[in-house]
Structure 1
């Protein structure tokens, strides 16, 4: 029996007093609000670097630290949400995230930038992002709502990426980058009321991968790390983070180097967000109808082709927008099949924590993508090596997902 059809999972959804549609709406609102500011950090790179005379490696390191701590904190935030419920973790995370953005507005030294944009935003994101939303959906939604809920939450984060780039450039032109960062910080307080609809409890979330088997946190971690299919899934997710973080942070500056305006970079990021809505919803729909491992392989291979074509084509506004559309369709479409495989293999009881470990791999990739982008640019004056590394990683991840076995773990039934 799969995790998505376990009686305990169904019971958890049935006992929840909030209607499924309101759970999805609230989760989508949280995903949109938290992912929006995160997706526009690349638009702060040039104005902050120019104002304080920093190299791009300074800002790149801060966002690299952010990605690493976002990933490092995700398993712990997931474990806390599994143990104490989602609401408390989401609210604390939103407050930490908001404080990081506000402090970034006053970051006049690299050290303050590392603390604000790096440490506080990173740890805040680990406890207030769509990772916890997906886990809450797995526990609260009825079986027939789960796949579309995963896709909808991912698409909502994508809509934040579509909405925030033009909003950011407009606010920066009107009042400067400092006030823009402060406004985004206070906007995160909207998360607090929406989090109430995602209330989960450890008793309601209990359930294995189709077996009446109670596990400790340590046993769940050990079981996952010994499971070859989970390890391959986690390793493949590394590439997703590498590419997303590199493009999000360095794409606007890369386009300025190629003679484009910052507005072209903003529109390219917005198109990534817009087409990611379609891609995420499509992936969520397909995740319950086709092989998830093959879906992931196609997505990763498609990214490799899109990046290679973009790098080999002369840069123009049209080529940027076409790349944004193609990359956007494949952007977060990895999330519904990845989260669905975690739930299928291990059930919903520790889904937030186990998806958090997969996301840590994603964010290690993000750390390297942002950091290497800044390092290679400062030393070679070019991003070419990182672009081609992204292509190679795409095809490697496509290959590593193919041996995954799409079935629940086998556990002994305890009398």
Structure 2
């Protein structure tokens, strides 16, 4: 009895240490990324770069992130999170430093596009939340990933005003260098993730359900590619990336066009981060009690409806705050739900890789959302078309998620037989 109590206490302490380290890494990576929309105007006005090019650089990091994520996830699955997080944080910081010194478009694209994309693939969900998913028990997995995501949102609350203040008082370059330093501080935290993972394996056996689904990676990917629910989840996640990247990149500029107060764009992004803390935890909690694909579908419906109302109704300071709050509540809650759904169906052995493949679809959407926003604005002088597309995409994503079969692969195979 005493031994059981000690083991349970050790597991809880390990899990909380894991969640804390994961939250800090995500705070640094996602918080810094949330600031990019603040630099579009300064890069355009101060350095004479076209909005389309700046939007392309931001969009490219999303695309590179997506293509690199399956490889980063597979590396973490095989070698652990520590080396992957450390390399990613250093690469991310180098990309920001290059962008800070950029005097031409190619330097901005190389730094803010290529290097940042590689760096963030190693310091975000596919590596960090996959580690949390492996350590947490099936009963607590959704809540644990939701808590890590919620803690990670703290960076989105803090980094936007921090970057804004440094930029106003010291300039764009100083702001980007400061953000790079924050990422370097997060580099060693991958060690905590690996230690927690080793302690968890030593103190608890692998569940039988995970053992039955522990196929080799090649067989797992082949099976997933034929799984209708996995394909629907992958298609639906495209919408999430499209909506979020467009809003994060272009909302500040859109509000300036609407003659909103200076600084309201930064406030809106910070509010999205604040309410994302609540939304990520809430979605993780709901995912532990309801069918995760149903929660995802309703999230997309709510997000699409909120976008439509925001565009159709008059734009005021109050409407911006309400919109930011609703977006925050539905912002990244999709990530623990998607991770949890993949783990439920396929197990956790290759969770980083399987989520990485789904996340590639998300980032293809992110690329188009960020880049098309700039292209449509430069072409038409308005964001109206792209706002309409983001609203309709929410309905489409909901329709894709409702019919997903969420039974574990072993149960689904027996039912088919």
Residues 327-347 of structure 1: CA deviation (Å, up to 9, x unaligned)? 111111111211110000110
Q: Does 1:148 align with 2:143?
A: yes
Residues 130-160 of structure 1: CA deviation (Å, up to 9, x unaligned)? 3311110111223444222111121123221
8 A Cα contact 2:140 2:288, kept in partner: no
Q: Does 1:86 align with 2:55?
A: no
Cα distance in 1, alignment partners of residues 206 and 171 from structure 2 = 49
TM-superposed deviation, 1:410? 2.5
8 A Cα contact 2:149 2:280, kept in partner: yes
TM-superposed deviation, 1:167? 1.3
- Compute the TM-score of the two structures, normalised by the length of structure 2: 0.92
Q: Which runs of 5+ in 2 are unaligned?
A: 1-7
Question: Among 36, 60, 63, which residue is 1:65 paired with?
Answer: 60
Question: Among 113, 123, 137, which residue is 1:128 paired with?
Answer: 123
DSSP 3-state at the match of 1:19:
helix
The correspondence of residues 24-103 of structure 1 with structure 2, limited to 5 A, is 24-103=19-98
TM-superposed deviation, 1:358? 1.0
Distance 1:281 1:15, change over 3 A: closer
Distance 1:215 1:33, change over 3 A: same
Residues 65-123 of structure 1: CA deviation (Å, up to 9, x unaligned)? 10001111000000111111111111111110011011110111110011000000001
Q: Which residue of 2 aligns with 1:251?
A: 251
Cα distance in 2, alignment partners of residues 164 and 57 from structure 1 = 25
8 A Cα contact 2:62 2:367, kept in partner: yes
8 A Cα contact 2:213 2:346, kept in partner: no
Distance 1:27 1:293, change over 3 A: same
Q: Does 1:315 align with 2:310?
A: no
Report the RMSD for the aligned CA atoms in angstroms: 2.2
Q: Which runs of 5+ in 1 are unaligned?
A: 1-12
8 A Cα contact 1:209 1:345, kept in partner: no
DSSP 3-state at the match of 1:184:
helix
Cα distance in 2, alignment partners of residues 209 and 52 from structure 1 = 56
Structure showing the higher helix proportion among its residues: 2
8 A Cα contact 1:93 1:128, kept in partner: yes
Q: Does 1:157 align with 2:152?
A: yes
8 A Cα contact 2:99 2:107, kept in partner: yes
Q: Which residue of 2 aligns with 1:7?
A: none
Q: Does 1:191 align with 2:153?
A: no
TM-superposed deviation, 1:207? 7.4
8 A Cα contact 1:206 1:349, kept in partner: no
Cα distance in 2, alignment partners of residues 304 and 99 from structure 1 = 36
Q: Which residue of 2 aligns with 1:367?
A: 367
Q: Which residue of 2 aligns with 1:169?
A: 164
DSSP 3-state at the match of 2:410:
coil
8 A Cα contact 2:72 2:126, kept in partner: no
8 A Cα contact 1:252 1:262, kept in partner: no
User: Alignment length, in residue pairs?
Assistant: 401
TM-superposed deviation, 1:15? 9.7
Distance 1:101 1:209, change over 3 A: farther
Cα distance in 2, alignment partners of residues 255 and 272 from structure 1 = 15
Q: Which residue of 2 aligns with 1:349?
A: 349
- Compute the TM-score of the two structures, normalised by the length of structure 1: 0.92
Residues 20-56 of structure 1: CA deviation (Å, up to 9, x unaligned)? 1111111111111111110010001000111122221
DSSP 3-state at the match of 1:410:
helix
Cα distance in 1, alignment partners of residues 398 and 75 from structure 2 = 32
Cα distance in 2, alignment partners of residues 355 and 27 from structure 1 = 17
TM-superposed deviation, 1:396? 0.3
8 A Cα contact 1:42 1:252, kept in partner: yes
